Chains A and B, each alone.
Chain A
Amino acid sequence: NAGVMQNPRHLVRRRGQEARLRCSPMKGHSHVYWYRQLPEEGLKFMVYLQKENIIDESGMPKERFSAEFPKEGPSILRIQQVVRGDSAAYFCASSRPGQGMTEAFFGQGTRLTVV
């Protein structure tokens, strides 16, 4: 859904660099969810955030990955010291409070390529 804005759409990083992926939720949505789609696979849940709070990060890799959703501005998914295996499409979705994914909309994704 065009209402959830992700940028950049495509990102190329060399191994060892940092990747910062941004997600601006739809107007009125204060909950953000990040999913990762590895090549030839379905999407996998990474993290669920509300404004200034991480609600569930059980799908996040233990190292190098972090996410935030500040009071002002977009949600950021940060990957430090990227490796080839981080190459994937990263999608965020947003919803109003209490709706979960039942009424969520996805952005168009950021396709990260690590070279």
Chain B
Amino acid sequence: AQSVTQPDIHITVSEGASLELRCNYSYGATPYLFWYVQSPGQGLQLLLKYFSGDTLVQGIKGFEAEFKRSQSSFNLRKPSVHWSDAAEYFCAVAVPGSNDYKLSFGAGTTVTVRA
């Protein structure tokens, strides 16, 4: 079964600084990969997803992620963080095919933005 690890539980970053959130997955082939953001008391919003093709994926709100097969990673980045980016971020994977509705989520990384 696939699994997802987000090594950083909590990250604090200054407004305007760059942000990188790590995500590693365990799966025998290339899974579908997702990043979601959850603001306090809100639902999940999809930031970006990767299925195949170009390994650098652009998403909403200025986020991007890079798929690295050799490292089984799908790290999320943003060049300049805004205070509104304070939230919890979840990486998720799904097995391509008939079971792609079953997302496996990491435990999340909470991002705090300081002025």
Residues of A at the B interface (CB closer than 8 Å) are 1, 4, 6, 31, 33, 35, 40-45, 48, 56, 59, 91, 95, 100-102, 104-109
Contact = CB atoms under 8 A, between A and B. Distances in A.
A57 to B, nearest CB: 12
B103 interface: yes
Contact of A102 (B36, B90, B100, B108): B100
Contacts, number: 62
Contacts of A44: 105
A6 to B, nearest CB: 8
Interface string B20-46: 000000000000101010000011111
Interface of B: 4, 32, 34, 36, 42-46, 49, 51, 90, 92, 94, 99-108
A16 B102 CA distance: 30
B84 to A, nearest CB: 17
A91 B36 CA distance: 13
Given A59-B102, A101-B101, A106-B44, 15 more contacts: A6-B43, A42-B4, A42-B107, A43-B44, A43-B90, A43-B103, A45-B101, A48-B101, A48-B102, A100-B94, A101-B32, A101-B94, A101-B103, A106-B43, A109-B43
Nearest to A35: B103
Contacts of B94: 100-102
Given A56-B101, A100-B94, A91 B107 contact: no
A102 B45 contact: no
Which of A40, A45, A101 is most buried by chain B, counting CB atoms within 10 A of its CB?
A101
Contacts of B49: 102
11 contacts: A42-B106, A45-B102, A45-B103, A56-B99, A56-B101, A101-B32, A101-B94, A101-B100, A101-B101, A102-B51, A102-B100
Contacts of A105: 46
Contact of B105 (A42, A107, A109): A42
B103 to A, nearest CB: 5
A45 B104 CA distance: 7
A109 B88 CA distance: 15
B107 A40 contact: yes
